[in-house]
Structure 1
Amino acid sequence: MTTAPGRRSSTFTRLLRHGFTDASAAERLLDGPALAPVRSHPVLLDALGATADPDLALRGLVRLAEAQPDGPQELLSTLVTAKPLRDRLLGVLGASEALADHLARHPLDWRALVTYEAADLHPGVADFERDLADAGDPVSLRVAYRRCLLSIAARDVCGTTDVAQAAAELADLATATLRAALGLAGAAAPEDAARCRLAVIAMGKCGGHELNYVSDVDVIFVAEAADGAGEHDALQAATRLASHMMRICSETTVEGTIWPVDANLRPEGRNGPLVRTLSSHVAYYQRWAKTWEFQALLKARPVAGDPELGAAYVDALAPLVWQAAERDNFVTDVQEMRRRVVDNIPRAHLDRELKLGPGGLRDVEFAVQLLQLVHGRSDGTLRSGTTLSALASLAAGGYVGRSDAAQLDAAYRFLRTMEHRIQLHRLRRTHLVPEAEEDLRRLGRSLGLRADPVAELNREWKRHASVVRRLHEKLFYRPLLDAVAQLAPGEIRLSPEAAGQRLEALGYADPAAALRHLEALASGVSRKAAIQRTLLPVLLGWFADSADPDAGLLGFRKVSDALGTTPWYLRLLRDEGAAAENLARVLSAGRLAPDLLLRAPEAVAILGAPEGLEPRGRDHLEPEVLAAVGRADTPEQAVAAARGVRRRELFRTAAADIVASYGTEEAPAHPDAGALVDQVGRAVTDLNAATIAGALRAAVRAEWGDTLPTRFAVIGMGRFGGREQGYGSDADVLFVHEPRDGVGEEEAARAANRVVAEMRRLLQLPTTDPPLPIDADLRPEGRSGPLVRTLKSYEAYYRRWSLGWESQALLRAAPMAGDPDLGRRFIELADRLRYPAKGLDEAAVREIRRLKARMENERLPRGADPTLHTKLGRGGLSDVEWTVQLLQLRHAHEVPGLRTTRTREALAAARDAGLIGEQDARILDEAWVLASRVRNGVMLVRGRAGDTFPADARELAAVGRYLGYGPGHAGEMVDDYRRTTRRARAVVEQLFYGA
């Protein structure tokens, strides 16, 4: 292979293509004498390239070939002719440096991988016992153990077994090894073996039939005196046997160690006796055991020693395990234990901790075990010590949603496979994801990620960890179901006091009222109650994640009372995963959305449809409103129909905003606050425009039928014209008309004024829906001027009398309802004023600045904090909008991008034109978006508009949650608002006031 440079180059390229990272070293190894018989065989490179680490596999193969006592011919010929052996052996060599070391020390052990019989695929305890039977001392036991481990690893890395089967085989191998070690201990002290009956109970992952490659094997010892022996002597003999057995497995020799045997889960831990009698065990668990000790007993399984005594131990303690959930503070204890585990992880390891960290394996195990302990009291199908089997049973029994269970199952398998591959490399006990690039590459390739192993591994790991963390948090609340509902007639699981304590711990301010709601929803044997019992634990967790869990639960009861007999309602929540969570988020986010929903509960269907949370545009809304108005018999009925559409669509918009702001289990919180503000602004503006169009149609039909004597248009101003309205915004408008041919000026004016009066009357009729105030104070001459003018009157006024502020106000003018041609011609008129051909002179600029300063001094409400008022305060909406509008008035004649009614669009155009720096534009935009979000949040939370943060602590916290601040961070939200608006004010001082 080294005879010609060209050939060497070709080989080098092939090696790189097959995944080698050190192709030069690989070439040298392939050219060496060890692999001479097969160096040119095409299957070798293909097989090496299929391994997790081709370089590691090649080095291991060379070492193994060189170590063959009779030469490498048998090994190599079998390797190239037998694909099963090739895949297994090279797969192990590419994944495990430690097993490569073992093969180099015991070069004929590769023959254990040759067989490929059906019985070889899933060996059990008896098979492993046969493989260990010839081990007559601790050293030979270690060698035989590693040989068995080699076979398990080979099946694992080749995909012959999945991760659950591999974990079960590892547990079976551990069982056989414990039995062999106990046999060696008994053979060394036959007199001790004769004095006692000793049983070894596996705990933890060994007991659960889900062991790792390298893990402590947790055990508990129970003993009784043999016939004719005294109890004291029997316990001493059993202790010596147990201690010797532990040393055989745990001590390090020239062949390494097997694994540590850990007996610290026994009663009293390290301070208690190593061996106890059965009666002593039972007495301890009846009187002294803590909650976690019963949780540990879920996985107890007799594995070695006296089988009858082992079975008696499990039978005696099982009833105590399934009563543990009735203990005081049970859920709190379990949750606190999980938090302590996370708190004790070194901060430097937290992000790499695969087992104990947030989103790790322990999160799955704790959630599953908690559900088992609660529901397993009455459902024996849940009493499995194996996590994935228990999870499947929980799903089959309806205690966990099928989708949730499938996601947890997939995540747990992925994380366990990661853990197995990490440990397999050097057979070291670790749960930390490595940091070195080469280790991450090998790990990713071992999981089948080949395109970009490191990036794909990190992406998949984080995705699965996120799923685990989310579902762990969700499932940890499920035991509340038993706190409030009767699972069987007459059977109450917890006292009201205990249930109330748990609800209070979750943040419910009135647990007694919460209990009443839950009992009303979930008691009984009807199908409705059964479905509610499935839904409520999850909903309770989502409610608890909000600032006002009580309001969320109360709203859910009201909606359920209103729709409970509707067949589709509970089915929607049960079967459409997003609908239930969306409903929980909406009901617990404040008053506005629940009030809208309770006026028309059937709107809950919006939360389940895939497109349900996409606000509808004006082109869809206006035809629907006008059609509803057309079907009404009276103007009042017509405007009620228009309001009904507005109520439903306002709920849709608010729900979409809340869900995007809070995030859901399927999608994180929306990262772009500006996009959310724009979405709400467009949606609310379009909705109000459609509603006003409906009121206009109703007013016209009441007296004139389909045709008004004068053309009529409604012009949006302010945030209405800018399509930037919030939930509590007024609709600033101008009314313009133009007499039709043959209609006199006076008749047209009377008709126009009657239409305006009727529109305002209809829109002001008493209703429980959010009001839509019409404000025409931006018209010429303000409140002193006529409500409606002809287009010619507007033109004459603006030509002769208009002031600077009126041109500025027209920057937001846009047609919103009525005659489209008249609206277009009004905008053409407005363009001449708002985009002056030569910009503004300095006198006009000074006048705008003077008006702004006067407004700041006079219009800020008395007692309001100027640093927190979103509209008129420092760096708030007014500051940003006046700054942007001044730029428009001065430069829109030469910068077409500035000719927009929208603040953010104009700001971006000014930045692109170089009129404002990138950083200054970003600061102003951030402040405007934040102030708008605060106003929207206040309206959502309080159900009424407000320009400053709520004084009530719970309402303030709810606004904080809407803005993305977690519990206890409302103060941080206020500080961030002050900081953001302070920076914006500094930009305003420079750009607007010329400081």
Structure 2
Amino acid sequence: MSRPTSAAGRLARYGFDVTGTGTVRADDLLGPDGLRLWDVTAQQPVDPPAGELLAALSRAADPDLALRQLHRLVEAEQRHRSDATVSPVLAALYADGGLRRRLIAVLGASSSLGDHLVANPQQWAELATGRNGVAPCADGSLDPGSASSGGPSGGPAPTGGPAIAELRRAYRLALLRIAAADLTGGRGLEQTMAALSALADATLGAAYDIAVAELPAGTPVPRLAVVAMGKCGGNELNYVSDVDVIFVAADDADLTVATTLATRLIHICGLVAWPVDAALRPEGNRGPLVRTLASHLAYYQRWARTWEFQALLKARPAAGDRDLAQEWIGLLAPLVWHAAERPEAVEDVRAMRRRIIDNVPPRELEREIKRGPGGLRDIEFAVQLLQLVHGRVDETLRTPGTLPALRALVAGGYVGRADGEALLRGYRFLRGVEHRLQLQGLRRTHTVPADPAALRWLAHALGYTPTPGASAVEAFRAEWVSHATEVRRLHAKLLYRPLLESVARVPAESLRMTPQAARRRLEVLGFADPAGALRHLEALTGGVSRTAAIQRTLLPVLLQEFADAPEPDRGLLSYRQVSDKLGSTPWYLRLLRDEGPVAGRLARTLGLSRYVADLLAREPEALRMLAVDAELAPQDAAKLAAGFTAVAARHLGTGGGQPADAVQAVRAVRALRRRELLRLACADVLRSAGSLAPDRDDAGPLDIAAIGAGLSAVTDGTLAAALQVATATVPPPAGLRFAVIGMGRLGGYEMSYSSDADVLFVYDPPAGLADDKASAAARAVAEELRRLLGMPAPDPPLGVDADLRPEGRNGPLVRSLAAYAQYYARWSKVWEAQALLRARFVCGDTSLGAEFLAVADPVRYPAGGLSREQIVEIRRIKARVETERLPRGADPATHTKLGRGGLADVEWAVQLTQLRHAHAVPALRDTRTLVALAAAREAGLVDAADAAALRAGWTLAARVRDALMLVRGRASDQLPRHGPELAGVVRLLGASDAGQFLDGYLRTARRCRAAAERVLGA
């Protein structure tokens, strides 16, 4: 494809095709042989009015389509008015800005309406601005006499083809006016839907009149009502849709004649506008087309299914005998408003929704905005089920339209304001997309196109424009994903508060009397195992004890929180387990009932985190900390260390380190660690969920650095206390100094919930003690420390990993300070220098720890930096690690540790910078990744933009890694692409849309990876 010349580029800036790839080039249509709007020589509009028209064309959804259709319209006009020297339509477009906006918008958005205007070139004038600047009427009415001399204007309608042809033209003209107002902002979505529904009513009425006029002379006209159903009944019709109706005859009507009228009406409407669908009638297409009032009532009383009552929610008079239609609606209303009491009603609605999804072709499921997950049907079914349930007593909910009904549900408190607004926004967005899709070709469709060109057209038709950060299509997709995800979430959750609060608040005997109703409600509200959930509720609230009474008071609050979690069943199960352990403890229920935030915080943490649930199940007494905000924060490291050693000393007592004392001491130390992990995890979950007091200065989410430092401080204290117990159990020789050096994430104050403690063990023998005896004594202390912390216990394990020692697993577990110095001076490799960058003293002999770091400093901060060979070696090792250590089946795009843009990318980039420059830049001599990165940025060693990308990538990956552990209760480095675990991570990290979060993660990781490669390759 040739690129446009600079001259043609001027025309291309209007959005036209100038490359010749289309059927006709824009300059041909605009030039002297076409519309004469463009000066080909000067490459500019021929005059200012032509410039205004070109600007209007450029704003159309498809400028080329608008231009082609305008050219066709002018040609058609010239064929009808060959004497005109200046095109009337062009002259009018120059003079009338309102006409210009409306006509060009229609021509650029709908090829079908353009074809209609070409076939009826006089009708463009109907879009002209009237007197006093009034836009043409777009309320859905048919022009008087447009169908015939009778029809909509009153009097008998002529029969046969001419009346139908006139009605078709009148219908298209009214549709043209509605579309013009819609496309130019003259009508909002609800006004547009109402106008389309009114146009359907008028068309049905005109077709009815024509059908009556065609009856043989002298034939008595029966009373026949045409009742609108579906979208038409709800006054929310779209541009192209079947119009659902039910025909009702009076009890004394001649059903043969009535059926003739109904059949002819269906045929006329099919010729004029759209198919009339009467399949919602009793027995569907197998039943008679017309029934009497009595026949209808008998059917609905005896045979009708839940979905048929659900359909009746939108019934309203449309044409024919409206009084009869209203009588029919009133007759059936009592049946509609008792339908929800049927045992199978809720399940019927759920099953119907599932069947609709199952019938969508799999290849279209994610692009279906009507029937697919997160589509219009999700909103409509949720609203209609709420209407059926609550409309029995609340007559404000008895309205046929989805949006009015949703507003009534919000006003009545059945739907939360935020949820209601989210559904309103989702509905408006999805219907807007549907309207633009259908308007283009006046074709029934609900599927977003996959073709890139069609997607671009749709995005432009919806008003999206490119921004520096995203194309119009990307902006549209982002909003679509956001709305669809929210609609999916709320579809399952919408009824939770009004129904499950009722289940929880009724007396226990009433709850047991209606278990099936409670079970149906639990199922509708998102519980995967409603029978199991019902058993938990009955166990918690059964009986007449004070405990049961308090539980009945508490459960509404708790269930509301569980409903918001990705897995409500797990939250309720965890709560029952905690309650079973503490239910007889006097303070437990008092704490939940009387300490305002505790119940909600408990439910939130149990619902969102299996890790917290497991810890609480082992130590439920620790939930007392949920009552005090100050308890939900990392503890001071020095005080924490003192607490651990004090616990160990208290249990060791004066026993001199007997085995029984050591076991009890370490159990106490590990219990304290469990409690501190629970404190950090609860603080992490609740702060992320915004559940702490809003007036506290420190109530915001915990920084990932604070979590890492807190977890590292807990590990430091645990190791110090375990070392205290180990040296009491296997006392080393007098004068032998022993120290534990933290490495890896422990050394960098970057521990996660799942991290092992990477360490080195170092000793220094006293004078006069043989090296072999000193080495054996030090090894005994190290092995005892590891044994004590590795004993089976109901605690999260703390692995003590010494694999970063010289020679790895093949080397001795413990070395003397002199042996470390000799090894690093003679045999160490560059990766060992890299590992030492995170070395710091953790516990043991402080002076020995300082001496070890003095030995390590020349190795990790080498004078003169690294040689080129060493830099190449680091890059080679990193590549090998990525290739060999990424778990089989892992997705490198979303693996938080070894994936692209994960933790390893950032850490290797920072560590290479430290190895190269820390000898000259003291600020780089820090074991913490982000602190060293900031120092590198300040020193100009890493570009500021790259530093920001690296920081963002490392922070996000670390937060996701912690969130995965909190959600799953098990370690994982793989961010899932879908499912409840992803939803839980998204919730924990303060986001609301899983799709947007995943897109954001991938985007951040890509930028991080690119920055890391630049730093590593520099």
TM range (shorter): 0.5 to 0.7
Deviations 1:86-110 (A, max 9, x none): 1111111110111111111111212
1:111 alignment partner AA = A
Q: Tell me if the contact between 2:312 and 2:336 (Cα under 8 Å) persists in the aligned partners.
A: yes
Distance 1:121 1:693 in 2: 84
Name the residue aligned to 2:254.
Answer: 234
Name the residue aligned to 2:518.
Answer: 499
- Secondary structure at the counterpart of residue 594 of structure 2: coil
Name the residue aligned to 2:937.
Answer: none
2:243 alignment partner AA = V
Distance 2:64 2:537 in 1: 63
1:380 is aligned, of 369, 377, 395, to: 395
Name the residue aligned to 2:316.
Answer: 301
- Secondary structure at the counterpart of residue 444 of structure 1: helix
Deviation, structure 1 residue 641: 12
Q: Tell me if the contact between 1:507 and 1:544 (Cα under 8 Å) persists in the aligned partners.
A: no
TM-score under structure 2 normalisation?
0.64
1:30 alignment partner AA = L
1:18 alignment partner AA = Y
Name the residue aligned to 2:111.
Answer: 97
1:353 alignment partner AA = E
- Greater Cα shift, 374-383 or 103-112: 374-383
Deviation, structure 1 residue 417: 1.0
Deviations 1:840-893 (A, max 9, x none): xxxxxxxxxxxxxxxxxxxxxxxxxxx99xxxxxxxx9xxxxxx9xxx9xxx9x
Tell me, yes or no, if structure 1 residue 600 matches structure 2 residue 623.
yes
Name the residue aligned to 2:594.
Answer: 565
Q: Tell me if the contact between 2:460 and 2:472 (Cα under 8 Å) persists in the aligned partners.
A: yes
- Secondary structure at the counterpart of residue 318 of structure 2: strand
Tell me, yes or no, if structure 1 residue 219 matches structure 2 residue 245.
yes
Q: Tell me if the contact between 2:313 and 2:398 (Cα under 8 Å) persists in the aligned partners.
A: yes
The aligned runs of 1:197-276 (5 Å cut-off) are: 197-225=223-251, 231=252, 234-251=254-271, 257-276=272-291
Q: Aligned in 2, Cα 1:833/1:428: closer, same or farther, shift over 3 Å?
A: closer
- Secondary structure at the counterpart of residue 360 of structure 2: coil
Q: Aligned in 2, Cα 1:555/1:45: closer, same or farther, shift over 3 Å?
A: farther
Q: Aligned in 2, Cα 1:531/1:564: closer, same or farther, shift over 3 Å?
A: closer
Name the residue aligned to 2:585.
Answer: none
Q: Tell me if the contact between 1:411 and 1:464 (Cα under 8 Å) persists in the aligned partners.
A: yes
Distance 2:16 2:106 in 1: 16
Tell me, yes or no, if structure 1 residue 79 matches structure 2 residue 93.
yes
Tell me, yes or no, if structure 1 residue 539 matches structure 2 residue 562.
yes
Distance 1:139 1:815 in 2: 92
Deviations 1:151-194 (A, max 9, x none): 11001111122222211211111111111111111122277984
Distance 1:263 1:371 in 2: 26
Deviation, structure 1 residue 418: 1.1
Q: Aligned in 2, Cα 1:121/1:269: closer, same or farther, shift over 3 Å?
A: same
Q: Tell me if the contact between 1:483 and 1:493 (Cα under 8 Å) persists in the aligned partners.
A: no
Tell me, yes or no, if structure 1 residue 35 matches structure 2 residue 32.
no
Distance 2:680 2:669 in 1: 17
Deviation, structure 1 residue 464: 2.4
- Secondary structure at the counterpart of residue 304 of structure 1: strand
Q: Aligned in 2, Cα 1:77/1:584: closer, same or farther, shift over 3 Å?
A: same
1:43 alignment partner AA = E
Distance 1:263 1:458 in 2: 36
Deviations 1:745-796 (A, max 9, x none): xxxxxxx9xx99xx99x9999999868799999999xxxxxx9x9x9x7548
- Secondary structure at the counterpart of residue 302 of structure 1: strand
Deviation, structure 1 residue 212: 0.8
Q: Tell me if the contact between 1:730 and 1:775 (Cα under 8 Å) persists in the aligned partners.
A: yes
Deviation, structure 1 residue 354: 2.1
1:816 is aligned, of 834, 842, 852, to: 842
Distance 2:170 2:963 in 1: 70
Name the residue aligned to 2:8.
Answer: 12
Name the residue aligned to 2:196.
Answer: 170
Name the residue aligned to 2:486.
Answer: 467
Q: Which structure 2 segments of 5+ residues have no match? A: 38-44, 583-587, 654-664, 690-702, 727-734, 767-777, 807-812, 864-886, 889-896, 898-903, 920-924, 931-956, 973-978, 987-1018
Name the residue aligned to 1:584.
Answer: 607
Tell me, yes or no, if structure 1 residue 59 matches structure 2 residue 78.
no
Q: Aligned in 2, Cα 1:657/1:629: closer, same or farther, shift over 3 Å?
A: closer
Q: Tell me if the contact between 1:514 and 1:553 (Cα under 8 Å) persists in the aligned partners.
A: yes
- Secondary structure at the counterpart of residue 425 of structure 2: helix
Deviation, structure 1 residue 57: 1.0
Distance 1:488 1:60 in 2: 69
Tell me, yes or no, if structure 1 residue 513 matches structure 2 residue 535.
yes
2:675 is aligned, of 631, 635, 647, to: 647
Deviation, structure 1 residue 457: 2.8
- Secondary structure at the counterpart of residue 716 of structure 2: helix
1:551 alignment partner AA = S
Q: Aligned in 2, Cα 1:682/1:96: closer, same or farther, shift over 3 Å?
A: same
Q: Tell me if the contact between 2:610 and 2:967 (Cα under 8 Å) persists in the aligned partners.
A: no
Deviation, structure 1 residue 442: 1.8
1:359 alignment partner AA = G
1:688 is aligned, of 715, 718, 721, to: 715
Name the residue aligned to 1:359.
Answer: 374
Q: Tell me if the contact between 1:440 and 1:454 (Cα under 8 Å) persists in the aligned partners.
A: yes
- Secondary structure at the counterpart of residue 35 of structure 1: coil
- Secondary structure at the counterpart of residue 309 of structure 1: helix
- Secondary structure at the counterpart of residue 406 of structure 1: helix
Name the residue aligned to 2:58.
Answer: 49
Q: Which structure 1 segments of 5+ residues have no match? A: 1-7, 226-230, 252-256, 574-578, 663-675, 700-708, 741-751, 781-786, 838-866, 869-876, 878-883, 906-929, 948-956, 965-995
Q: Aligned in 2, Cα 1:627/1:173: closer, same or farther, shift over 3 Å?
A: farther
Q: Tell me if the contact between 1:323 and 1:377 (Cα under 8 Å) persists in the aligned partners.
A: yes
- Secondary structure at the counterpart of residue 510 of structure 1: helix
Tell me, yes or no, if structure 1 residue 21 matches structure 2 residue 17.
yes
Distance 1:220 1:493 in 2: 41
Distance 2:402 2:66 in 1: 33
Q: Aligned in 2, Cα 1:188/1:778: closer, same or farther, shift over 3 Å?
A: closer
RMSD: 6.2
Deviation, structure 1 residue 651: 4.5
Distance 1:67 1:836 in 2: 84
Q: Tell me if the contact between 1:713 and 1:823 (Cα under 8 Å) persists in the aligned partners.
A: yes
Q: Tell me if the contact between 1:508 and 1:550 (Cα under 8 Å) persists in the aligned partners.
A: no
Distance 1:697 1:130 in 2: 101
1:14 alignment partner AA = R
Distance 1:822 1:151 in 2: 88
Name the residue aligned to 1:456.
Answer: 475
Deviations 1:53-76 (A, max 9, x none): 111111122222233344454432
Name the residue aligned to 1:107.
Answer: 121
TM-score under structure 1 normalisation?
0.66
Name the residue aligned to 1:283.
Answer: 298
Q: Tell me if the contact between 2:511 and 2:518 (Cα under 8 Å) persists in the aligned partners.
A: no
Q: Aligned in 2, Cα 1:295/1:585: closer, same or farther, shift over 3 Å?
A: same
- Secondary structure at the counterpart of residue 211 of structure 2: helix
Q: Aligned in 2, Cα 1:836/1:95: closer, same or farther, shift over 3 Å?
A: closer
Q: Aligned in 2, Cα 1:146/1:774: closer, same or farther, shift over 3 Å?
A: closer
1:507 alignment partner AA = D
Deviation, structure 1 residue 586: 1.8
Distance 2:250 2:550 in 1: 51
Q: Tell me if the contact between 1:714 and 1:733 (Cα under 8 Å) persists in the aligned partners.
A: yes
Q: Aligned in 2, Cα 1:489/1:937: closer, same or farther, shift over 3 Å?
A: closer
Distance 1:567 1:938 in 2: 28
- Secondary structure at the counterpart of residue 464 of structure 2: coil
- Greater Cα shift, 238-247 or 505-514: 505-514
Distance 2:175 2:980 in 1: 55
1:372 alignment partner AA = Q
> Number of paired residues?
804
Q: Aligned in 2, Cα 1:553/1:115: closer, same or farther, shift over 3 Å?
A: farther
Q: Tell me if the contact between 2:520 and 2:530 (Cα under 8 Å) persists in the aligned partners.
A: no
Distance 2:802 2:452 in 1: 66
